[in-house]
Amino acid sequence: MTLDSAVRIIALAPDLLGTYGDAGNVTVLAQRLRWRGFPTEVVEGIGRDVPDSGDIYVLGGGEDGPQALAAREMIESGALPRAVERGAVIFGVCAGYQLLGCSFLDTDDNVHAGLGLLDCTTVRGTGPRNVGEVVANIGTLLPGHVLSGFENHGGVTTVGGGATPLATIVAGNGNGDGSHTEGAWSGRVVGTYLHGPVLARNPDLADLLLEWVVGPSAPLADADATAEALRAERIQAAGGSRRRA
Amino acid sequence: MAATLASDRSSPRPPRRLRFAVPAARLARSLSRRLAHRDGAVIGGRVCLAVDPDAVAHLLVQHPTTVFVSATNGKTTTTALLTAAIERLMPVATNTTGANLPSGIVTALMDAEPGTTAVLEVDERYLPGVVAVATNPVALLLNLSRDQLDRMAEVRSIALRWRDAFAHDTTRVIANADDPLVAYAAPPERTVWVAAASRWRMDALSCPACTARVQYDGDDWYCTQCDLRRPKPDVTFTDTDVVLASGRRLALPTTLPGTHSRANAAFALAALELLGLPVDGASDAMATVTDVDGRYQHLWATDDASRLYLGKNPAGWAEILDVLAPVDRPLVIAVNGNDADGHDLSWLWDVPFERLAGRPVVATGERMRDLAVRLRYADVEHTAEPNLTRALAWARTARADVVGTYTAFQQIKRELRRDA
Ligand SMILES: [Zn+2]
């Protein structure tokens, strides 16, 4: 294969959205591609300078101020709506999930416009931050898969009719709007509140995103045995030690 | 640490509550030691605070010279280095075991002679409350970065609280010019700036004042929007020497490894100079600090290079990886996820473990599976060993370095003591 055919992963605003180890999601996607022999390139999309050539765009979690700045810059860049048009994959975590939606609120209750790529809106929760292990059953996107991750957010997200909740909560809060759902997806745009990083904890979800780019590929049984042991441990822990901060 | 009653007879008379609180605290500590075989380090302070909720203020007022050391990383080491440097001149009241919450501070002070110089490490969140009640305090602000992800939601909010505290007091500050969060927090007109060469930048890529991007340009940094920028350093250091604010050049102690250890020593020497204490001979005194409550201790033999490290967050790990880099020694990494470690171990993905590829690694600790997955994606061959005792037995045979998160580090120290 030539370099032109390399799968291109864009780490979006890693300088603003990278508080909770979410850079690991890019590491996981890139490694799974490399282990399967696909030439892979990771490019950072900083500021308004977001490449149009990405196959997968990944957004991480971040604090309020940087999140608002990232949203403004991404809206101005316009690269993400064009990417969705092309059929590229967009994956957002926590603050990155919120800014894929229509709007979100910061700690001072200022409303910020999101990218509008997912039909959901986020407001501030009135209770304590949602902090702890989450277990949720993924719906139509990956039927039968149990999602495992760690949430840490004060936002409450309501998914509208134009998107579908990613999963149904078993333990934890997720979207936190009373619907007992977690995350949202629409087409090839997927958002979740879960860190971990979530793709390290959920290789099936990582492979689904990759399948949208390179087609179905063989499982990575050896690597995923390690991940499976971690998943089992964390899913069990979520049952007993859920705590609020 | 023999209890002394001398402070009870001293003047000025302490406030009434404190006069009851301190004896009650000593009794509790002695019971804890005798009955539970604990070292009683914090029990005394807790009892003291229960009887006199203002014990921190009441005790601090008895000490005309107080130095507080606060940071995400390096508090305990810098406190130990500064204590060694001052103790060669006069007695020091200090919390040597890293007990840096109010209970630990009270414990450190309740046995101290009034008038003694106090050198205290303080948890980042408690620093504003403690400097507010101290007389003529000096604060050393080393660095701020992500740590205990589930508890400390926003490291930036700590910087803001520090800034608010220092804006309204008269604290003299020694601060890291290379950390934008710290530079934002420190009061420029009362600060001695140390070029402390922070390696980790991920928590200060967005300006703490206005959230715009921070531009790094070699050693320099500046906000691309507002006027926050790197202050001109007053204190600089190399691998061997430090140049203090006065222009004095001194040799740095080299007992403890790594650039961050030089930075900690530079902070301590800057503090001595600010306090008006003699700096000659201070480096030699600091060089006698061979380990700090277990950090950096030689594990298997004194002539062996392998050491024990505390690795609890990405900024700390960035320094540790630098120290480990030159030699491919075997390595044991112990990861726990208790309250003091943080329950969210996502930060393991912010550590460039890829640098360990090629050396034998054993993953252990209660959360070894999180580490195992991370190491696998880093292409680091490793063995997962759930049993810490067995992992350390392997480390002994292999003469390995050992790194642990906060509670894993404490467990390792206990295991090593038991074997000794
Ligand atoms: Zn700024």
CA A67 / ligand 1 centre spacing (Å): 15
Nearest to B346 among A21, A129, A132 (CB): A21
Selected catalytic residue, list A94, A112, A120, A153: A94
Residue located via tokens 């022999």: A37
Question: Is A226–B343 a contact, with Cβ atoms under 8 angstroms apart?
Answer: no
Beta-bridged to residue A7, according to DSSP, are A40
Chain B, window 128-157: residues with a beta carbon less than 8 angstroms from a chain A beta carbon: 146, 149-151, 153-154, 156
With 80 as the cut, is the pLDDT of residue B260 above it?
Answer: yes
Check CB contact under 8 Å for B206 and A69: yes
| B349:A21 CB<8 A | yes
Minimum-distance CB partner of B348 among A21, A131, A201: A21
**Residues on chain A touching B386 (C-beta within 8 angstroms):** none
The pLDDT score that the predictor gives to residue A244 is 39
In this predicted structure, what is the pLDDT of residue B5? 35
Domain boundaries, chain B: 63-287, 308-419
Place of tokens 């390139």: A41
Interchain proximity B344–A150, CB inside 8 Å: yes
Question: In A, which residues are within 8 Å of B384 by CB distance?
Answer: 226
Q: Single out the residue of B264, B247, B404 nearest to residue B320, CA to CA.
A: B404
CA of B222 to the centre of ligand 1 (A): 8
Question: Chain B: nearest CA to A151, how far in angstroms?
Answer: 9
Q: Nearest-CA distance from B420 to chain A in Å?
A: 34
B234 CA distance to ligand 1 centroid (A)?
23
Return the CATH fold of B308-419. Protein-Tyrosine Phosphatase; Chain A (3.90.190)
Whole-number Å distance, alpha carbon A62 to ligand 1 midpoint, is 17
- Predicted confidence at residue B13, as pLDDT, reads 61
Say whether B149 and A152 touch across the interface (CB within 8 A).
Answer: yes
Mean pLDDT for all residues in chain B: 91
Do the Cβ atoms of B343 and A27 come within 8 Å?
no
Distance (Å, rounded) from C-alpha B404 to C-alpha A208? 35
pLDDT at B253 over 80: yes
Give the whole-angstrom CA distance, residue B41 versus residue B38.
8
Residue from the list A64, A129, A229 with its beta carbon closest to the beta carbon of B369:
A229
* B contacts of A66 (beta carbons < 8 Å): 206, 211
Q: Please say if the pLDDT value at position A9 is more than 50.
A: yes
| pLDDT tens string B349-383 | 999 999 999 999 999 999 999 999 999 999 999 99
Q: What is the pLDDT of residue A79?
A: 96
* Section A63-71 average pLDDT: 88
Quick one: CATH architecture of A7-238? 3-Layer(aba) Sandwich (3.40)
pLDDT (tens digit, 9 = 90+) per residue, B183-227? Answer: 999 999 999 999 998 888 888 999 999 989 999 999 999 999 999
Q: What is the pLDDT of residue B43?
A: 81
Q: Is the CB of A226 less than 8 angstroms away from the CB of B211? A: no
Residue B330 contacts residue B360 (beta carbons within 8 Å):
yes
- Cβ-based neighbours of B182, under 8 Å, separated by 6 or more: B141, B142, B143, B144, B159, B175, B176
ipTM at complex level:
0.95
pTM over 0.90: yes
Contact (CB<8Å) B346/A245: no
Q: Is B381 on the interface with A (CB under 8 A)?
A: no
Q: How far is CA B106 from CA B34, B46, B161, B222, in A?
A: 21, 8, 22, 40
Mean pLDDT throughout B35-51? 75
Cβ-contact A233, A171 below 8 angstroms: no
A145 is catalytic: no
Residues of B in contact with A22 (CB under 8 A): 346, 349
- Residue B368 has φ and ψ, to the nearest 5°, of -60, -25
Query: Quick one: closest CA in A to B216, which residue?
Result: A15
Distance to chain B for A161, nearest Cα, Å: 32
Per-residue pLDDT tens digits for A173-213: 999 999 999 999 999 999 999 999 999 999 999 999 999 99
Q: Is the pLDDT of residue B31 over 80?
A: no
What is the predicted pLDDT for the residue at B41?
64
Segment A121-130 mean pLDDT? 92
Rounded Cα gap, residues A71 and A95, in angstroms: 10
Which of chain A's residues have a Cβ under 8 Å away from the Cβ of B212?
69
**Per-residue DSSP letter, B252:** P
**A25: nearest CA in chain B?**
B349
pLDDT on residue B37: 59
**What is the rounded CA–CA span in Å between residue A191 and residue A155?**
14
* Residue B229: strand pairing partners: B222
Could you give phi then psi for residue A213, rounded to 5 degrees?
-100, -50
**DSSP secondary structure of A180-191:** -EEEEEETTEEE
**What's the pLDDT at B38?**
59
Q: Greater confidence, B360 or B27?
A: B360
How far is the C-alpha of A14 from the C-alpha of A66, rounded, in Å?
A: 11
Residue B7 has pLDDT above 90, yes or no: no
For A67, the closest chain B residue by CA position comes to B211
Sheet (strand A111-113) strand order: A111-113, A103-105, A120-124, A155-159
**Residues B253, B286: contact at Cβ < 8 Å?**
yes
Distance from CA of B101 to the nearest CA of A (A): 19
Nearest to B226 by CA among B173, B183, B176: B183
CATH of B63-287, one of 3.90.1530.30, 1.10.10.10, 3.40.50.300, 3.40.1190.10: 3.40.1190.10
Across the interface, of A19, A47, A200, the residue whose CB is closest to B377 is A200
Mean pLDDT of A126-152: 95
Q: Which residues, at least 6 apart from B295, have a Cβ–Cβ distance to it below 8 Å?
A: B76, B77, B308, B309, B310, B409
Chain A residues with CB-CB distance to B343 below 8 A: 132-133, 150, 241, 243
User: What are the tokens at A11?
Assistant: 């780490």
**Is A195 in the active site?**
yes
Report the residue of chain B nearest A242, measured CA to CA: B343
How close B154 comes to chain A (CA, Å)? 7
Which pLDDT score, from 0 to 100, does residue B36 have?
65
What residues of chain B lie within 8 A of the CB of A227, using their CB?
Answer: 373
Where b means 16+ CB within 10 Å and e means fewer, B181-212 reads: bbbbbbbeebbbbbbbbbbbbbbbbbbbbebb
Give the three-class secondary structure for A136. Answer: strand
Question: Cβ contacts (< 8 Å) between B205 and chain A: which residues?
Answer: 15-16
Is pLDDT above 50 for A22? yes
